[in-house]
């Protein structure tokens, strides 16, 4: 103990961190990110709706500024910043996000294409009718517990008395610590039918439930194409739903057709519509299809309309399949039906969710009718007292006139005390002493106005009492029988369905897998250009001829081949990487191209490019290799026609590296230059043929510390001149020597 009376506790740091992290995680899970299975709302949504209810912003009242709602919610119930509150308000008003919007927004609340809502000072909102009637009704009947707010100055409901399974109707999404929820929206009418079916048969199976609720109903429509897989998804509460947009093929003038997308997958809303358009542009630019002429987004307030115009004679069905395979026109919605149940997160199937909801409905109804019954019994007590008072009204008036104060009169009415009260006769006094009204009845009698003694008023009082007795009988019946309560709940649910249910938008079926038959593109001659930075592109032959001088001067390699060929990229560590010509961008002469390591497995950090050769030309010839250690060989070009994207082109000794790779003919000659300026010219025919896995033979005898640093293939047309010690050396004039000799020094 210290002098100040403080106690110092020693504990493991790891234990403190663990406890703190668990506390933080549970706070995020329960109090922020996951919805409660009972009302399907996160705390921020619940508090916003309750605040609107408290402010009286009803569906039949004028709109109020969103900033007013946000400020009031933040000040009273949710001290976490205005953006989270306004964000929740906006989403609850977006009909393309919610199956049944809970807020009626007035102004710019964002668009399906990802446009954000206007600032809260510009927009207005009020409750939707369904929110008021099915989410916030009966709050005055003690149906839910109220808890203190963050600073204990206000009370807020721990859960809203939601009468329908909101968690299914509107779905939910949220990321907590170590877990996430993703629940798709469903059709209100179907969900209500499912709840009624469960009330009638609590042992209903998932399969039977799916006959009533066949699957999700997204506000954007679309088509669910894996109907047979939904049973497992809804039984376990997790899985994948495959979605497609709704596509129609319309005829155009001149025999052309266009693809019109009128509904999109739910996962495409927002910025993903723009991404879809860019993906379609990308298919055209990369030559995946040449049948698309134009694409335009003609969407408006009336709905989605994306138009893709096709060439005459194009196979529209095949293009649709391409869009399904290569864009988000077909997408996956990951389902994880995770919600807070009993204060802890739980993954539930559809029947489990409905079971929790029905239990909640019975709890709400029990509390509601208990409150109503108590109120009716209070009314019964007062009414019976007033009726009884009317029968002895003359005596009561005599008591009131003879009493000195209210307390004395009340004591007489309740306990029959007559002391101190002046009566006209002993009989009156004796009768008064026999009175025994209750406290509540006596108070009502003393507060009763004289006009209540009119005959019609007394008749009305008797009728009111009869009505009260009928209500008491009904409430006792409901509270006394589960079946009677279920009947009442089902009747209310049917009324909600009749008033608020809308037709299903999403079609559920077993769709065929999208199979795209790629058109065989006619091969054309092209020229591949690779600059000194390793960027490659291809251009057509005519473009190259027009820019030949600039192309040859600016590029490290200029290769003629066909557009359906493959290129072999050889590197100094003896690797060969295959590059498909379809991956090499085709365009204009001044286009930048792409880095070669983006379209093959070449790594610029670990290896250097020696050369790039077209495979078709290689297969007809021999391929010649020279290494720094002067190992040489010829290999049949067909050996390099392999399926693997990367393969060993040759075997290298440790520390050796490739200097030259090229195609060679029998009549060609080879020149090697060493670092010490020895030159050796050999006939290509003298170089032995080997397998690509072989190391080769020694081509030039090197002095100690010397190595080959350059090599050339001379074919009669290619006669390079090199400068050595400020003297030019014409390589085709070098004397032809023998293999494994030193050569001549220059």
Active site residues: 122
For residues 158 and 730, give the distance between their C-alpha atoms in angstroms, rounded to a whole number: 93
Which region, left, alpha or beta, applies to residue 497 given φ > 0 means left and ψ of -120 to 50 means alpha?
Answer: alpha
What does the DSSP 8-state code read for residue 511? P
**N- to C-terminal Cα distance for the chain?**
93
Helix (H) or strand (E) holding 23, with range, is helix 13-28
Is 319 strand, coil or helix? helix
Residue with tokens 């009302």: 39
What does the DSSP 8-state code read for residue 308? E
The 10 Å Cβ neighbour count of residue 405 is: 9
| Cβ–Cβ < 8 Å for 672, 680 | yes
For residues 444 and 591, give the distance between their C-alpha atoms in angstroms, rounded to a whole number: 94
The 10 Å Cβ neighbour count of residue 716 is: 10
Is 282 strand, coil or helix? helix
- For 140-270, where are the alpha helices, taking DSSP H only? 166-169, 188-200, 206-212, 230-236
* DSSP β-ladder status, 292-297 and 306-310: antiparallel
| Cβ–Cβ < 8 Å for 98, 219 | yes
Structure tokens at 63: 């709109």
| Cβ–Cβ < 8 Å for 221, 506 | yes
Residue with tokens 């709109």: 63
Helix (H) or strand (E) holding 367, with range, is helix 350-391
Q: Residue 268 CA to chain centroid, in angstroms?
A: 9
Q: Beta partners for 682?
A: 670
CA angle 658, 660, 666 (to 5 degrees): 130
For residues 302 and 306, give the distance between their C-alpha atoms in angstroms, rounded to a whole number: 13
User: Which residues neighbour 363 within 8 Å (Cβ) at sequence distance 6 or greater?
Assistant: none
Instruction: For 206-257, give the secondary structure using H, E and C.
Output: HHHHHHHCCCCCCCCCCEECEHHHHHHHHHHCEEEEEEECEEEEEECHHHCE
**What DSSP assignment string belongs to 393-425?**
HHHHHHHHHH-SSHHHHHHHHHH---TT---SS
For residues 743 and 746, give the distance between their C-alpha atoms in angstroms, rounded to a whole number: 10
What does the DSSP 8-state code read for residue 583? G
Taking CA atoms, 620 is separated from 561, 639, 694, in Å, by: 13, 11, 20
């Amino acid at each position: 103990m210290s002098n100040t009376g403080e106690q110092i506790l020693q504990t493991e740091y790891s234990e403190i961190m663990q406890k703190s992290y668990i506390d933080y995680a549970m706070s995020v899970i329960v109090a922020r990110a996951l919805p409660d299975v009972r009302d399907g709302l996160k705390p921020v949504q619940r508090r916003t709706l309750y605040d609107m209810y408290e402010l009286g912003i009803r569906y039949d009242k004028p709109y109020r500024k969103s900033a007013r709602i946000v400020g009031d919610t933040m000040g009273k119930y949710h001290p976490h910043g205005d953006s989270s509150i306004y964000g929740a308000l906006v989403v609850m008003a977006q009909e393309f996000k919610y199956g049944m919007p809970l807020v009626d927004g007035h102004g710019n609340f964002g668009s399906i294409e990802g446009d954000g809502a206007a600032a809260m000072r510009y927009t207005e909102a009020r409750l939707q009718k369904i929110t008021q009637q099915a989410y916030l009704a009966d709050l005055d009947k003690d149906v839910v517990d109220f808890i203190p707010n963050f600073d204990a100055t206000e009370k807020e409901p721990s859960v809203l008395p939601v009468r329908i399974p909101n968690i299914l109707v509107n779905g939910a999404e949220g990321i907590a610590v170590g877990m996430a929820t993703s629940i798709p929206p469903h059709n209100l009418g179907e969900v209500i039918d499912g709840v009624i079916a469960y009330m009638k048969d609590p042992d209903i199976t998932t399969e039977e439930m799916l006959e009533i609720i066949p699957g999700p109903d997204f506000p954007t429509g679309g088509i669910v194409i894996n109907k047979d897989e939904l049973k497992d998804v809804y039984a376990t509460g997790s899985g994948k739903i495959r979605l497609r947009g709704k596509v129609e093929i319309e005829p155009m003038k001149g025999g052309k057709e266009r693809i019109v997308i009128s509904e999109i997958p739910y996962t495409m809303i927002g910025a993903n519509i723009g991404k879809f358009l860019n993906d379609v542009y990308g298919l055209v630019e990369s030559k995946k299809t040449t049948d698309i002429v134009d694409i335009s987004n003609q969407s408006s307030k009336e709905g989605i309309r994306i138009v893709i115009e096709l060439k005459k004679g194009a196979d529209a069905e095949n293009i649709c399949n391409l869009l399904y395979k290569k864009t988000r026109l077909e997408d996956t919605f990951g389902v994880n039906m995770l919600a807070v149940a009993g204060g802890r997160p739980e993954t539930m199937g559809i029947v489990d969710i409905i079971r929790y909801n029905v239990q909640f409905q019975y709890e709400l109804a029990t509390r509601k009718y208990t409150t109503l019954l108590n109120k009716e019994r209070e009314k019964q007590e007062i009414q019976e007292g007033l009726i009884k008072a009317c029968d002895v009204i003359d005596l009561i008036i005599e008591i009131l006139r003879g009493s000195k104060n209210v307390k004395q009169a009340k004591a007489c009415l309740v306990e029959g005390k007559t002391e101190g009260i002046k009566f006209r006769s002993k009989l009156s006094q004796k009768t008064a002493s026999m009175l025994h009204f209750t406290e509540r009845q006596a108070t009502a009698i003393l507060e009763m106005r004289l006009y209540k003694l009119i005959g019609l008023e007394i008749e009305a009082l008797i009728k009111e009492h009869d009505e009260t007795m009928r209500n008491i009988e009904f409430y006792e019946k409901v509270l006394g029988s589960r079946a009677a309560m279920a009947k009442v709940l089902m009747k209310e649910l049917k009324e909600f369905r009749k008033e608020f249910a809308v037709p299903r938008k999403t079609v559920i079926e077993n769709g065929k897998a999208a199979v795209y038959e790629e058109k065989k593109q006619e091969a054309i001659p092209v020229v591949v250009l690779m600059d000194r930075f390793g960027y490659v592109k291809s251009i057509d032959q005519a473009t190259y001829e027009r820019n030949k001088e600039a192309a040859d001067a600016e590029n490290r390699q200029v290769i003629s081949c066909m557009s359906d060929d493959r290129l072999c990229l050889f590197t100094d560590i003896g690797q060969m990487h295959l590059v498909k010509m379809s991956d090499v961008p085709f365009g204009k002469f001044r286009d930048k191209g792409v880095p070669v390591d983006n379209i093959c497995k070449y790594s610029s950090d670990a290896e250097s490019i020696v050369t790039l050769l077209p495979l078709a030309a290689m297969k007809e010839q021999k391929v010649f290799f020279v290494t720094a250690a002067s190992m040489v060989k010829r290999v049949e070009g067909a050996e390099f026609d392999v399926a693997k994207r990367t393969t060993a082109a040759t075997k290298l000794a440790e520390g050796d590296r490739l200097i030259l790779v090229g195609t060679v003919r029998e009549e060609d000659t080879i020149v090697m230059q060493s670092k010490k300026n020895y030159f050796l010219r050999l006939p290509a025919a003298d170089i032995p043929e080997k397998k690509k896995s072989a190391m080769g033979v020694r081509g030039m005898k090197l002095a100690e510390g010397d190595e080959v640093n350059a090599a050339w293939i001379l074919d009669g047309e290619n006669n390079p001149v090199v400068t050595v010690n400020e003297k030019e050396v014409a390589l085709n004039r070098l004397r032809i020597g023998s293999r494994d000799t030193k050569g001549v020094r220059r």
